[in-house]
Amino acid sequence: MAPILTYSENINSDSDKKFPYAIKEVEEKVNKELLTKFTGEKTTFLQVGPKDYFLPSGYRKEANHYYTFALRPNDVFIVTFPRSGTTLTQELVWLLANNLDFKKAAQIPLKHRFPFLEFSSLLHEEVKAELLKKNQSNPAKCEVIHKLSSPCWRYFQEMSERRFIKTHLPLSLLPPNLSDVGCKVIYVARNPKDVAVSDYHLCKAHISQGYNGDFEEFWKLFQKGHVPYSPYWEHIKEGWNSRSKDNLLFLFYEDMIKDLRKCIEKVSKFLGQSYKHEEIALLEAHLSIDNFKNNKSVNNEDFKELGVMLKDQEGFIRKGTNGGWRNYFDDKLNIEAERWIEDNSKGLDLQFSF
């Protein structure tokens, strides 16, 4: 069992360290148009650092807290571009690191076992106010909304047990010593077509994004780097170029779908765990898409009750398959996408399965 560290044993609590990148607002005309498409942002979108990472206005006040986040050697990070197999990887990693405690996993929602570092930055104050008004007759729900909007880095500071941390931030916006202190980092990549389709549905379903356009328009914004956490290729390149580091494991979601057992064994070895053949078989069955889609612990069903997710949209876990993009890209759009992928893959020794 990994040692339990107290907050006093955190690493990287250097108060002199400051966020080194410029944070600028998206050009006014572009921002005005984007605000009509992503109604969950009420102020302005931001572009961060030399790669112009596209983030909501709430990121500005928390950027330095994420960058100077006090690490612990036994932290486990999952870093992904949104909709790249994050949830499946979270459940897989948490169970492998916690002696396959399926009972505890069922009792405690995944978002509490494996919190989302920057979620509060995605929830605009005006959207929070709308949610509180909608749920004003239910104090318990209002308390949950307040907790959701509270900075997660503070919650992590107070934890005494081992920390499992989900983030969609690119590596360059996370603590620069992430690869030096012993943390385990798992970066998961997925082909951009399937990512865009899944992200499109997420942005339509969550009022924190509130996307109201069609898929073709979303894809064009995706290509331009005008959806949250883009540009996609810069995000992927940061993970790919760090794959040789001892503490970082780079995975393809497509490989997880094709051979889940092999992936389980690879992650188990990376985490320093060892399980019997029959135990791995149980975990494989637990993570199969049919079971996973019906797993209440991972599906954020309470978000629909709170109003964070629209009730008429698909659940948080959708298809979990590879190749669903074919139902969304017509021939013309696919030719355009292939050209974009080819242009951005030049010089990058990385091959996706489509």
Candidate list 65, 168, 206, 226, residue with the active-site label? 168
**Burial (0-12, 13-18, 19+ Cβ within 10 Å), 176:** middle
Domain annotation covers residue 331: no
The closest of 334, 310, 298, 324 to 211, measured between CA atoms, is 310
Give mean pLDDT, residues 92-119.
95
Give mean pLDDT, residues 270-296.
90
CA atoms of 228 and 319, how far apart (whole Å): 21
φ, ψ of residue 249 to 5 degrees: the values are -110, 120
Give mean pLDDT, residues 30-39.
97
Domain annotation covers residue 343: no
Q: Is 168 a catalytic residue?
A: yes
Give mean pLDDT, residues 20-29.
97
Domain annotation covers residue 49: yes
The tens digit of pLDDT for each residue in 86-105 reads 999 999 999 999 999 999 99
The closest of 198, 167, 188, 166 to 322, measured between CA atoms, is 198
The tens digit of pLDDT for each residue in 47-97 reads 999 999 999 999 999 999 999 999 999 999 999 999 999 999 999 999 999
CA atoms of 162 and 76, how far apart (whole Å): 8
Q: Residue 47 sits in a domain of what CATH number? A: 3.40.50.300
- 15 pLDDT above the threshold of 70: no
Query: And the tokens for 309?
Result: 């997710």
pLDDT of residue 7: 34
Domain annotation covers residue 100: yes
Domain that holds residue 155: 18-317
Domain annotation covers residue 218: yes
> Which residue, chain included where needed, has tokens 């919190």?
115
> Which residue, chain included where needed, has tokens 């993570």?
287
CA atoms of 97 and 184, how far apart (whole Å): 11
Exposure string for 39-49, b = 16+ CB within 10 A, e = fewer: ebbbebbbbbb
Q: Looking at the 3D structure of the chain, how many domains does it have? A: 1
The tens digit of pLDDT for each residue in 189-209 reads 999 999 999 999 999 999 999
> Where is average pLDDT lowest: 108-112, 142-146, 273-277, 302-306?
302-306
pLDDT grade for 6, boundaries at 50, 70 and 90: very low
pLDDT grade for 320, boundaries at 50, 70 and 90: low
- 5 pLDDT above the threshold of 70: no
Claim: this prediction has a pTM higher than 0.85? yes
Asked whether the beta carbons of 63 and 173 are under 8 A apart, the reply is yes
Give the residue, 40 or 300, on which the prediction is more confident. 40
